[in-house]
Amino acid sequence: MTVDLSQFIPSFLEESFEGLELMESGLLNLQEGDSELIHSIFRAAHSIKGGAGTFGFENVTDFTHLVETLLDEMRDGRREITSEDTEILLESVDCIRLLIEAARDGEEYDNEKIEQTSKRLTATLDGKNHSKEACDNTEEVVKSPNDLEYLIHFVPELSLAKTGNDPIFLFTALAELGVLTIEADSSSLPALNDIDPLELYLSWQLKLISSASIDDIKEIFEWVEDECELDIIIVDADNLASSSTVQDLEQSSNEQVKEVKETQGVEVSSNSETSNQSEVTKESNAGIKPKAKSDVGSIRVGVDKVDSLINLVGELVITQSMLSELGSDFDMSKVDRLTNGLEQLLQNTKELQESVMRIRMLPISFAFNRFPRLVHDLANKTGKDMELVIKGEQTELDKTVMEQIGDPLVHLIRNAVDHGIESSEVRLANGKPKQGVISLDAYHQGGNIVIEISDDGGGIDRENVFSKAVEKGLVDANATLTDSQVFDLLFEPGFSTAAEVTDISGRGVGMDVVKRNIQALGGRIQVDSTPGEGSTFKVNLPLTLAILDGQLVKVGTETYIIPLISIVESLQIEKEYLNRVSGDMDLYRLRDDNVPILPIYQLFNINSQCTDLDNALLVVVESDGQKVGLMVDDLLAQQQVVIKSLKDNYQQVLGISGATILGDGSVAMILDIPGMIQMALEKAQRIQLKKYPNHTDKVGEYI
């Protein structure tokens, strides 16, 4: 039986990355004596090594082996857990990630870094290795004199490994009973070309010195006794006891340890043979590899979510059959039942929609997980003392949103570390605890998710920001701005208040990108800061990108959808608040604001009966702090709509963010408010360009 291993590579990669994350978070929390944690880190490393070996990623295997050895020593208590070792291990995790990524993409990697780290690892391993080994041996040797010596001949069938049994487990179990010597017989190993990597060609001769009874030994082989030849012989016990002194025993046990190591060597070498073989497949897979880059992505979904979905589909089927039965001979007397049925259908559909959406939802801990490491590294780099407190990591968020919010959050945290938290001396001088706190919080609010990044640092220096903005020509020196307006200046391109540029932040790129990224997701970012007490960045995001709450409006014969989130209010125009200013521009006085009126029919070049401004309906929307009034013919219902892309079969249309399908099966366009404002601007510019071709510099200011 041959299996195309390449089909498992994606799942190996996925599991490896998960394993690496686990190792990383484990290492950050690692303390002396926490054996459970070390075990789990070790297991993660071990399965990465195993998987990499299977798929022929040899550099991963070799490197991970070093890590594993170090972890193994920690696990057995042979090595103390020092912060330096943890540091090296963290670095190694990065290296493994680098190696796996390189293996995935078939690209080159930073060999120097890997080599350096592996040298450091080896050095660490050599440095403290020997000190404890000796006492380990003496422990092993202590044994009671009434031990028996068993000779076990174990010849497994070729298919043993396929049934999920691994001789190693058996031997480990045997070794627990006493002192075990293993000799592998590899004589029946076929030529390399004929090897089926899934079959077991080896047989073993085992020598066990133990006080256990023969039944105990048989019990270990219980699961495989049908699939192997097994002989267990008891060698004369007296003979052994008289001929060997305790000293000899010590000697022999040392040899045994060596032999065990040798047999492991056999295992490894037979592994490397198979991995040679899989290397051939690896090369032939080279063509497939780039595929992994165009990441299709997968989600792990909890069984409970799938179950609830199945339940709902069951209910839907019942409702459907009820309705179709009703429809087969319908008369007016059954109208009540029909309405009930339809109501039930509505309920089912809504629940089904929610359930399906929930499948895309992941706890935000997926995005938060990398931050402890980030803060840890940054703390080392800056020499500041701080801790990261994470709250609400179970808050669920759409996968797409999650993937895109990661980078902006990294930026915000870097900023909090670099600009927010002061050095320990300054903190102590200001009467604050020495250790700074950065907290990360996520919670739901209405249909949105709010992520808060706050620090208890020095806060934002309002005057500093303002004078910097004046210096950069972003605001007028005499302007009076509210606090929030000042803080918004932080998001202007090219703005940075850092006294000196560090390699963490301060180059002034970043905050504007952060804001743009968040806006691209349909979200908002707000800053709040108290001098001396710290600052809070609040990111508001929609739960999902696939569904939107919309207001349906009618213009001419067309129906459009305005995202509810951008609507400020809807009103009927009253003549006395209408002003025509600066040459054909219509403004509507909304309390203190003058709102420019954009008639949708003009912008989109469609026919409409309602062209008269008087008494027309105005939907006031806001984008980027700019309010505009969209003139519509009629306001229809408010409803949730599923966003469909126009780009799939057509192209991006200015002023339109997508389309959706209404209840009657027709298509309706979803308006893109920033895009429409942009359109109106360009239109105004074109008109002005025609009228006054000579001075066109400042037309943008009019709207």
Q: Which is nearer to other proteins, 624 or 648 (CB)?
A: 648
Which residues have a Cβ under 8 Å from the Cβ of 560 and sit 6 or more positions away? 552, 553, 554, 600, 632, 668, 669, 670, 671
- Whether residue 207 contacts residue 151, with contact meaning beta carbons closer than 8 Å, is answered with yes
Q: What is the DSSP string of 298-341?
A: -----HHHHHHHHHHHHHHHHHHHHHHHHHHT--GGGHHHHHHH
- Going by their DSSP bridges, the two strands 386-391 and 436-445 should be labelled as parallel
Cα(565)–Cα(562) distance, integer angstroms: 9
Closest CA to 691 of 701, 699, 679: 699
Other Cβ atoms closer than 10 A to 126: 9
Which pair of structure tokens corresponds to residue 502? 């560090």
* Cβ burial, residue 582 (10 Å; 0-12/13-18/19+): exposed
Q: How far is the CB of 601 from other proteins (least distance, A)?
A: 10
Cα(505)–Cα(128) distance, integer angstroms: 39
Other Cβ atoms closer than 10 A to 491: 18
Does the annotation count 415 as an active-site position? yes
Q: Which is nearer to other proteins, 331 or 648 (CB)?
A: 648
Q: How far is the CB of 604 from other proteins (least distance, A)?
A: 3
Q: How far is the CB of 162 from other proteins (least distance, A)?
A: 39
Cα(340)–Cα(651) distance, integer angstroms: 42
Q: Which is nearer to other proteins, 213 or 609 (CB)?
A: 609
Q: Which is nearer to other proteins, 241 or 653 (CB)?
A: 653
Q: Which is nearer to other proteins, 557 or 594 (CB)?
A: 557
Q: Which is nearer to other proteins, 249 or 659 (CB)?
A: 659
Q: How far is the CB of 596 from other proteins (least distance, A)?
A: 19
Q: Which is nearer to other proteins, 25 or 660 (CB)?
A: 660
Cα(478)–Cα(481) distance, integer angstroms: 9
Closest CA to 365 of 440, 450, 456: 440
Closest CA to 64 of 40, 96, 26: 96
CA-based torsion, 398, 400, 405, 406: positive or negative: positive
Q: How far is the CB of 603 from other proteins (least distance, A)?
A: 7
How open is the CA angle 211-213-218, to the nearest 5 degrees?
Answer: 130
Question: How far is C-alpha 230 from the chain's CA centre?
Answer: 49
Does the annotation count 315 as an active-site position? no
Q: How far is the CB of 665 from other proteins (least distance, A)?
A: 6
Which pair of structure tokens corresponds to residue 60? 């991963």
Cα Rg of the chain, angstroms: 35
Does the annotation count 46 as an active-site position? yes
Q: How far is the CB of 703 from other proteins (least distance, A)?
A: 18
Of the residues 415, 452, 540, 558, only one is catalytic, namely 415
Q: Which is nearer to other proteins, 590 or 646 (CB)?
A: 646
Other Cβ atoms closer than 10 A to 53: 21
Q: How far is the CB of 625 from other proteins (least distance, A)?
A: 25
Q: How far is the CB of 345 from other proteins (least distance, A)?
A: 18
Question: How far is C-alpha 122 from the chain's CA centre?
Answer: 32
Of the residues 24, 58, 59, 68, only one is catalytic, namely 68
Q: Which is nearer to other proteins, 118 or 660 (CB)?
A: 660
Of the residues 18, 46, 403, 622, only one is catalytic, namely 46
Instruction: Give the interface with other proteins as residue ranges (CB under 8 A).
Output: 558, 603-606, 644-646, 648-651, 653-656, 659, 661, 665-669
Closest CA to 455 of 438, 434, 441, 440: 438
- Whether residue 147 contacts residue 237, with contact meaning beta carbons closer than 8 Å, is answered with yes
* Cβ burial, residue 489 (10 Å; 0-12/13-18/19+): buried
Other Cβ atoms closer than 10 A to 429: 10
Q: Which is nearer to other proteins, 50 or 675 (CB)?
A: 675
Question: How far is C-alpha 440 from the chain's CA centre?
Answer: 16
Element (H, E) at 138: helix 111-141
The residues carrying an active-site annotation are 46, 68, 415
